[in-house]
Structure 1
Amino acid sequence: MSSLWLTAGLSSALLVGDAYAETASTSSSQQARKSYDIPAGPLESALNRFGREAGILLSFPTDATAGARTDGLSGNYSVEEALPLLLRGTGLEASGSGNTFVLRKVAGSAAGGDAQLPEVKVMGLADATTEGSGSYTTTGQVSTSTKLGLSPRETPQSMTIVTRQRMEEMGLQTLSETMQATTGIFVNANDTERITYNARGYSVTNFQVDGMLNTYGGSLKTNGDNVIYDRIEVVRGATGLTTGAGDPSATINQVRKRPTREFQGNAAVRIGSHHMRRGEIDLSGPLAYDGKIRGRFVAARQKADSFRPLYKEDRTVLYGILEADIGRDTVVAVGYEQQKSDPRGVTWGTVPYWNSDGSVANLPRNLNLSTPWASWNIDEKKTFATLEHNFNDSWRLRAAATHSDRRQDGSLYFGYGGYPNADGSGIFVAYGSFPSDEKMDVFDINLDGKYGLFGRRHDVVMGIGSSERKSISDSVYYDGIPAGYDVIPDWSNWTGNIPQFDVISRGFPSSISKIKQQASYVATRLNISDPLKVIVGVRYGTYETRTQNYSTTGVAATPSGYKNSGVLTPYAGLLYDIDDQWTVYTSYTDIFQPQNYRDKNNEILDPVVGKSYEIGIKGELFDKNMNVSAAVFRSNKDNVAEIDDSVPPNSLPGNAQAYKSTGKGNVVDGIELEASGQVTKQWNLSAGYSHTRSRNNKGEPINTVIPRSLLRVFTSYHFNGDWEGLTLGGGISLQSSFWNTARKPDNSMSRIDQGSVTLVNLMASYKFNKQWTGTLNVNNALDKHYYGRVGFYNGVHHAEPRSISLGLRTTF
């Protein structure tokens, strides 16, 4: 018989059976009354929510709640008072005390059957699902950092979890919008489509979906729609144990929604500034065999104009998943996801910063030197499958595979360069088309469980995984190019009225590249004593890349590439529980990042290597409804490539530049503070501050296009009483100054500065009844005018002005 279990904020030393009972302590909060507002509906969903809010572990066979409904719960109750009210009329009762309760059938009840259901053994913490929690955080299991399934407090690295509740209240519809509200993350936009996420002084290059690698090459980064995700987990620092190669910046893991055992659905529409209109639907529930087969379907469509003339957004999202119980111990799932973006009037670069006479141009904020047909389309499709099998109460096997196919196309035309003159001349154009097809196959299988050693129980995970990405770029040429096509005749009166050039395929690729990673890994958490835990792990793998270029006549050049074998990436963490609320920790991991640069002898440079350290404290406050943390971090990167000026420029075969290793390289250090969750049941808060300092081996500042300091705060309050149904929220986002050097018309280099900026966001929501809720969001409420990127192509990219949106959501 399948089992479901719930918990919130239990001790990190949870075991199973009698061992569990010996280690779990009775919390005084269980005897205290708490405020609950759980609506009538499916019993299983209500119990899930109650378990999280009450901080209890409740175990029962899944069949016990099949088809059962509850009248809900509203008011102040102790756990012992609340459970009978939730279970009233269901033929079920709860027994237990402290943190642990078991559901049983009432003897002789109308529900029929045996007087008692077999008790279910429970292992570990609850999953981290945030849908329906009403909270800005979770205390459930997350695996982005180590795959051990640890709570945020048990994870020896800084992390942020952006929950479903926070996404909906803040109106966070894309990954880039979410990262702009995340502690320690700065979003750089080179233009309307090319986005870079930065953390701890470096670009974020590791992305996951459901813990599976999802990293594509090129300059177009992941910016998917959030409608299909339950939460987004961001682990800052190096995560070499789970991701392999990468910088000590962060790993972003987007976790999909899963099917529910009871039917639920919601639909929403949203309208906003610049003719934005959006619709979405989400349906989930049992399909057959009393819920043993479940499904979920999610779809969204969004169109919008922009403060930039000519630019139009068109985004489509489809997601479907089937999940099935195979016997009592196995769950399998298959799914499909498509995220399609078809923007028009896209930019390709920045707006010039200086006039031809060297003065600051101050070109209009809404200037868009593009055309109505300029596009940069991405159509990304994923199919995936997962399997989870529980051998017993202690051991579990998990396997997952994903196939991704991303097609990039479109034609670009944009006045990105030069220095404007008063008569409207001086700006030249870049145009082109770069169709490509990228495929990625990712596989991972691991075994996790518990083992006994020296009279204690410990946790372990071991597994193997691989990822292979193949990219094929089409060889094309352009036709129908009239004279003067590469200049803007008059930027001050530009309308974009220019014919589209023809893109003609040569019938063969311009390049084919492959990147392959394979690895095995093992990690264990040693429970040295009740308060002391040690996590150690290692990843052993290979990293291989190969590129084949072709001439415009289809002649293959000499292939290039390299292979790094036997790469060992160790990981270590130490945690000490001061009491039942606070944990101090420290962690260490290696950095490994291959680089495709050659020295003056035409030999590939050694990979970038380094070390990442972190020390901090974490806490679970307000009855474990809020996670707080403070951390100090430092990373060192060696063998960083720099231009070798001992030989002439571009002196290598193929006119390539020679580089040399810096030896001892970059150093980044800083601090991070964060608090996220519920202060009270009605009051949610997310607040984070980060300060980062980056220097090269000469002590000079690097990565100056990233602000050193970031502050992100957002809070919301749900009113009761006469104002019941009303939620008010707001926040600020503060970033310190940043700068970059760029070339002026006289060929000299000069700085472009962006001063510190403080943005204000506002939110108001009203729940008309149990089904209908309206939400108003105002972003950049003070309409601050600032740059999101400086120095790229000697210009600037203007950030978004004030925007207003109004949404209406119904649940059923």
Structure 2
Amino acid sequence: MRSKAHQSAALSLMLSLIYFSPTTLANTQNSTKNIERIDVVGQPIKRNSGPTGLDLTIKETPQSVTVLSHDFIDDFELDDLEDVLVQATGISRYKFGAGDNTEFTSRGYLINALVKDGLPTSIAGPQESRLDTIVYDRVEVLRGAAGLMAGAGQPSATLNVITKQPDRDGFVEVGAEVGSWNKVRSHLDATGALTDDKALAGRLILAYEDKDSFVDKENSNKIVAYTQLHHYFSDDTEASFTVHYQDSELKLSPWGLPIFYSDGSSVEIDKKTNLSSPDSFNGNTHQSYHFKLSHQLNLDWALNFGAQYSKTEADITMTYFSGNPDKQTGLGLQGGDRRWVETVDGTNFILGLVGRFELFDRSHQVNVTYLNADFDSTDDRYEELDANNRTIYYPLQSINNRHPASHLTTTDKQFIGYWDKSTKEQSLAISSKLVLTDDLHAIAGIKFFDYERTNERDFAWSGFSSDKGDESGESLYLGFVYDINEQVSTYVSYTDAYEPQLDKVDVNLKQLDPITARNIEVGVKTNLLDDRLRLNVAYFDSLKEDFGVVIPEYADQRPARYRPVDGAEADGFEIELNADITDNWQVNLGYSDFDVVDENGEDINLYAPRQTLNVSTKYTYEAWSFGLNATWDTDRKVDILNVPGVDLGLPAGGRRGAVRAEQDSQTLLNAHIKYDYSKQLSFKLNVSNLTDESFYDTYGFVPKKYSEPRAYNFSVKYRF
């Protein structure tokens, strides 16, 4: 609620920040300062974490937004972002074996825009999908084009992870877990005021996890450390400094299993089989430092500044193999280790102003954001090559053994090349909420951007090449929200998106131009029955230009060559329902249905299922609570490597020498039972993959991996 006595202020364009404390979007708690302001003169304006930076609620935002709360994440033991994202409406994942990587899709396109506390973290490096969720208060998923929220991105979705902040009232929480495959986990979460006047508060989170796998010899462990200091200098000025560190190790993790026997039939062997050598290792280290400063000029205007440095390092040794084994003997594979070392680091800062102003006897908002981001990526490769610069492979034992690569010994790997990428981006975004009538408001914005990119490659098989590019332009954001009544509103929005294709080159090894896209969305948002029933329905249509698709005759070369395509279009609808059936029973549902085709009307990106469904429910009875959630998606089609000389009778795929295969529809169930012994002590049992479904979680142009079988996890928490 705003004060009726707004101070009149001239509208001046200044630089603005994307983050302070994102309060309105997820209805999180206000600080003590905000409560005092409400009592005395009104609520000061805040820059929230939505696509425009304006002080808007979800209902006032003309785009689809899903918020996955801390309680939901904690209830279902969703320990990393990968587990969280597959629970969001319209989000699916596609896993591939090299480095145990995961890609996410929304509305038929890959998601590669990640924002952390309102600051873009990377546009050139891998997603942070393996970071532990213990440091996050919630995860917000904005579907459609990034609009004015982030830097580069596709018209798919933007992820905004909100980290936990200090609580000046203070608490200490300790927890321990044990689970299937020798899983052990523990954590400490301590927060409180550090001075008598509570002007300085802090939070410290520590976590450790070690776990084996249903795959023989595979093991993972991670260490998480997070701390934030928050200082309230006065009622108008506050600042915080955050450090986030995570070290993860994945030992003897296999690339996967071969797809076909030499006769063309599908390989079916013990899912415990591990084709990694004793040296196989995947190490990842993440560190980030985040500083933010906010100053309230008056009730209606706030200045903000934020800066962040992040660095992710990966050192991976993976056992690759080639060939197709004999069905009877299991012999026929050749294998060898490859190593690559990748470092992605980025520095960015945001500066600006957000405020309210009076015009034509109505109160409006404006936000101006300046972003400066600099990301660098280095990728060094090591292999054992022969005199002709060909990778050396060694015969593997029969895949009927659980460890057919266990005899491989350490060999000297030579440095065979590197790929360095750099992106520098600057943007100035101006957005405004204009109240046109009592029931109609418009969200209008424009973002001017300029970015430079450089690529330099030097590999033993292709030689040296480099290219540079400098692109500039603007993105538009326009939306209208009409309140039919206090419970129902309709909206329409138009957003632009752009994205550099740093990993795609044409036949001349020249960097492809950036993707440009537009997204149109029409929707209805309702809050009925005293906000006990919340229903959002959206229709979307997006169009991409200069989208790189692989050229079949160059698909197997390193690097692969791509051609730009104009007219890749996706359209469909989404439904999201949140219902409090009773005070003790909640139900959530999200459904997505879309098509995505190329300029000729042919289906593309078939690894993204066309329909997805997420359903979760929680029931509380006295000290007990019971939860169940289900995810379902339709069939997906992927291109897989064919067997030389074997005709499987399938239509040709996009890759030369490949066939198109279909992965069946999947339904996964997870459940939990929780008992609150007291306000301080609780016990919980979680079961993932409740029905013990078995399918290939990784399946495509690389070897396949089985999904994780049913697993149990027992946890206990104590807070004091």
| TM over 0.5, shorter chain | yes
In 2, Cα distance between the equivalents of 1:744 and 1:499? Answer: 26
2:690 alignment partner AA: A
- Please show how residues 193-592 of structure 1 align to structure 2 within 5 Å: 193-215=100-122, 217=124, 222-348=129-255, 350-415=256-321, 418-474=324-380, 476=382, 478=384, 486-495=394-403, 496-502=405-411, 510-550=418-458, 557-565=464-472, 567-592=473-498
Please name the residue that 1:770 is paired with. 679
- Please show how residues 633-648 of structure 1 align to structure 2 within 5 Å: 633-642=540-549
1:671 alignment partner AA: F
Shift of 1:336: 0.5
In 2, Cα distance between the equivalents of 1:699 and 1:806? Answer: 50
Q: Are positions 1:121 and 2:42 aligned together?
A: yes
Shift of 1:221: 5.0
In 2, Cα distance between the equivalents of 1:429 and 1:456? Answer: 70
Shift of 1:467: 1.2
Q: Are positions 1:157 and 2:63 aligned together?
A: yes
Shift of 1:493: 1.1
Shift of 1:625: 5.4
Number of residue pairs aligned between Structure 1 and Structure 2: 687
Aligned 8 A contact 2:25 2:49 in 1 = no
Please name the residue that 2:659 is paired with. 750
Q: Structure 1's 805 and 377: CA in aligned 2 closer, same or farther, altered over 3 A?
A: same
Shift of 1:268: 1.0
Give the 3-state SS of the residue equivalent to 2:149 in structure 1. helix
Among all aligned residue pairs of Structure 1 and Structure 2, give the percentage whose two residues are the same amino acid.
26
- Which whole-Å deviations, capped at 9, do the CAs of 1:546-578 have from their partners, x for residues lacking one? 12334669x99453121102x100011110111
TM-score by length of 2: 0.88
Aligned 8 A contact 2:93 2:103 in 1 = yes
In 1, Cα distance between the equivalents of 2:581 and 2:212? Answer: 38
Give the 3-state SS of the residue equivalent to 2:197 in structure 1. helix
- Which whole-Å deviations, capped at 9, do the CAs of 1:626-680 have from their partners, x for residues lacking one? 54211111111122334679xx969xxx997765433x32111111111236444
Shift of 1:763: 1.3
Please name the residue that 1:632 is paired with. 539
In 2, Cα distance between the equivalents of 1:321 and 1:710? Answer: 37
Give the 3-state SS of the residue equivalent to 1:251 in structure 2. strand
- Which whole-Å deviations, capped at 9, do the CAs of 1:380-436 have from their partners, x for residues lacking one? 111110001100000011111111122211322244653443212122325211113
Two-structure CA RMSD over aligned residues (Å): 3.2
Please name the residue that 1:701 is paired with. 603
1:715 to 596, 603, 617: 617
- Please show how residues 546-695 of structure 1 align to structure 2 within 5 Å: 546-550=454-458, 557-565=464-472, 567-595=473-501, 605-624=512-531, 627-642=534-549, 659-662=562-565, 664-676=566-578, 678-695=580-597
- Which whole-Å deviations, capped at 9, do the CAs of 1:129-159 have from their partners, x for residues lacking one? xxxxxxxxxxxx8423211132111111111
Aligned 8 A contact 1:244 1:539 in 2 = no
Greater alpha carbon shift after TM alignment, 277-286 vs 235-244: 235-244
Shift of 1:487: 3.1
- Which whole-Å deviations, capped at 9, do the CAs of 1:493-539 have from their partners, x for residues lacking one? 14242354256676x98343211111111000101112111000011
Q: Structure 1's 479 and 336: CA in aligned 2 closer, same or farther, altered over 3 A?
A: farther
In 1, Cα distance between the equivalents of 2:375 and 2:593? Answer: 35
Q: Which has the higher contact order (CA 8 A, sep 6+)?
A: 2
Aligned 8 A contact 2:336 2:393 in 1 = no
1:702 alignment partner AA: I
Shift of 1:760: 2.0
- Which whole-Å deviations, capped at 9, do the CAs of 1:757-784 have from their partners, x for residues lacking one? 2222221111001111111111111111
Greater alpha carbon shift after TM alignment, 541-550 vs 246-255: 541-550
Give the 3-state SS of the residue equivalent to 2:340 in structure 1. coil
Aligned 8 A contact 2:25 2:56 in 1 = no
In 2, Cα distance between the equivalents of 1:598 and 1:371? Answer: 33
Unaligned runs of at least 5 residues, structure 2:
8-23, 648-657
1:796 to 685, 704, 714: 704
Please name the residue that 1:187 is paired with. 93
1:354 alignment partner AA: F
Aligned 8 A contact 1:347 1:369 in 2 = yes
In 2, Cα distance between the equivalents of 1:660 and 1:510? Answer: 23
Aligned 8 A contact 1:433 1:503 in 2 = no
In 2, Cα distance between the equivalents of 1:770 and 1:782? Answer: 33
Shift of 1:731: 2.3
TM-score by length of 1: 0.79
In 2, Cα distance between the equivalents of 1:219 and 1:59? Answer: 34
Q: Structure 1's 446 and 543: CA in aligned 2 closer, same or farther, altered over 3 A?
A: same
In 2, Cα distance between the equivalents of 1:157 and 1:486? Answer: 54
In 2, Cα distance between the equivalents of 1:782 and 1:718? Answer: 23
In 2, Cα distance between the equivalents of 1:655 and 1:789? Answer: 22
In 1, Cα distance between the equivalents of 2:407 and 2:479? Answer: 59
In 1, Cα distance between the equivalents of 2:134 and 2:185? Answer: 11
Highest CA radius of gyration, 1 or 2?
1
Aligned 8 A contact 1:329 1:390 in 2 = yes
Aligned 8 A contact 2:417 2:460 in 1 = no
Aligned 8 A contact 1:280 1:299 in 2 = yes
Q: Structure 1's 347 and 601: CA in aligned 2 closer, same or farther, altered over 3 A?
A: closer
Whose helix proportion is higher, 1 or 2?
Answer: 1
Please name the residue that 1:115 is paired with. none
Give the 3-state SS of the residue equivalent to 1:207 in structure 2. strand
In 1, Cα distance between the equivalents of 2:298 and 2:332? Answer: 72
